[in-house]
Structure 1
């Protein structure tokens, strides 16, 4: 436990959680904050959410800036997708303009790192001990995350899956997503059974509960019925593990000690400024790449006020400012227009859509 972090009087540590449509997830984050306050009684720790739960991030950040000498903004978020790359930095910029005499510093998200790997390895060992045949050579492992239109966020999960493979004895460690991108859990489990795995451990890559965690447990129950010859184990989310507290304390310590503030891949880029000028503001999370001679995908993680209720993903090429409109993918639990699909909704209220053609875009329900 870090007790020496230079958090001073007049400082506010502002935790930014994502927020969930399922209030039990929001309550878990509030419980995390309560526990953190006990660990660090000398710190003024406040909480806000990006969406779905109060207090709302922009208002909470302004309130903290007006009442503090310095605000240390710490995202309680695993992967850097649209919210981390766009909305949090935009809120920080707005608060800096509104309160120029207050220093506002932004920490990185939790990221793919050794402490997170330690949690996953511990959860995997526990799951293996609960299985009848704890043989890693015949037990497949699936790291299951939210999924994003941002390849960097998906890449962080891919890194964790690879590290888990390299530091363990399992011959098969795969990655799956609950929505937005592929592969999905069902397809990965099918592959594992074809490769002769007798057992499968599903490791959800989630901090707290919510609609997606509930859906994951339902999916695993369906898989047990579909593959009665295979033993399944599914672990829980891991937001209260000691490593999460320690990572958050490390972020605060680094900011308070004068470490350079977070500069995310999309911070300060010309496209973000253009998005502001076009009036997108905070209601859109744009995920994009800065490479040249290729089209970068922009994922809108919030539906704007269109009459038809959809949010269209547009491809942006930073080198030529060209737009490439994707196709909608629909993914339903029931048969729709003659097609059988699996309908995946995440905590954002988005429908993840999956078709057999190679185009990819997102429509938010």
Structure 2
């Protein structure tokens, strides 16, 4: 029997986990796979091992693992594969297929633009955009964000789109904000490239509050959230698998 295991990041903040669960429940309604479960990489239960165990107990012989993650960094390249390898040793009969995170996609850029439009502040020639990503020591994360920034710049015709990171990569949020503050741009759109609210979002909010007294206009946009476009991307992924003969 075929199963889908949605792997979310997890958070200490209950609201963040609730957002993830609500999104997965919506995804479940878009496909007819008989077994569909959710698990978390860290900071919430069930973990990946337990998620796989639940699927097996429900009769799964094949599991499609869908990372509900933005980019392919350490979690996708190390943590999830390690959990899958352990599961394969525990359940030799079980076929497990790991899909990709959302990655670089036009729909991700469209979400950014929508979040900026929600601010009700118009783009103009003296405006710039600062994308704030979680960050990773994996160089692919920095490369992907640079590509997304380029796509965003092309779609908006804004003369400057910068990227910064909250951890493990440069430039840091602090350095990027200082650079923007010293620039000639009148309006700075700060867009958190995050799926959910939490400690990192609060960090951005706190830092921006100290800049509101300057002559520049600082516009903090909403985080990406579990936008309907993401549900469409998940549906596309699962349709691809439904056309295959998976499992026994």
- TM above 0.5: yes
Alignment pair present for 1:239 and 2:225: yes
State how far apart, in whole Å, the 2-side matches of 1:240 and 1:45 are: 18
Partner of residue 111, structure 1: 103
1:55 maps onto 2:56 in alignment: no
Does structure 1 retain, via aligned residues, the 8 Å contact 2:4–2:33? Answer: no
Question: Aligned-residue CA RMSD in angstroms?
Answer: 2.0
Partner of residue 28, structure 2: 37
2:206 is the counterpart of 1:218? yes
1:187 aligns with 2:178: no
**Correspondence 1:133-152 to 2 at 5 A:** 134-152=122-140
Q: Distance in 2 between matches of 1:68 and 1:124?
A: 42
Aligned mates of 1:160, 1:219 — CA distance in 2: 24
The question of whether the paired residues in 1 share the 8 Å contact of 2:9 and 2:68 is answered with yes
Q: Matches of 1:149 and 1:183 in 2, distance apart? A: 12
2:117 equivalent to 1:125: yes
Note if 1:204 corresponds to 2:195. no
The match for 1:81 is 73
Tell me if structure 2 keeps the 8 A contact 1:75–1:107: yes
Number of residues of Structure 1 aligned to a counterpart in Structure 2? 245
Distance in 2, matches of 1:235 and 1:120, equals 9
Larger helix fraction of residues: 2
Structure 2: where are the runs of 5+ without partners?
Answer: none
* Residues 35 and 60 in structure 2, CA contact (< 8 A), matched pair in contact too: no
Structure 2 equivalent of residue 329 of structure 1: none
Q: Which runs of 5+ in 1 are unaligned?
A: 1-9, 261-365
Give CA deviations for 1:132-159 in whole Å, capped at 9, x if unaligned: xx34211110010111111111211111
The Cα offsets for residues 75-95 of structure 1, whole Å up to 9 and x where unpaired, read as 000111111101111211222
| Aligned-residue offset at 1:206 | 0.7
Mapped pair 1:154 → 2:142: yes
How does the TM-score come out when normalised to structure 1? 0.63
**Residue 105 of structure 1: how far off its partner (Å):** 1.1
CA–CA distance in structure 1, aligned partners of residues 157 and 72 of structure 2: 29
Q: Following TM superposition, by how much is the alpha carbon of 1:183 offset from its aligned partner in structure 2, in angstroms?
A: 1.3
| Residue pair 1:136, 1:169 contacting (<8 A) in 2 also | no
Change (3 A) 1:259 1:207: farther
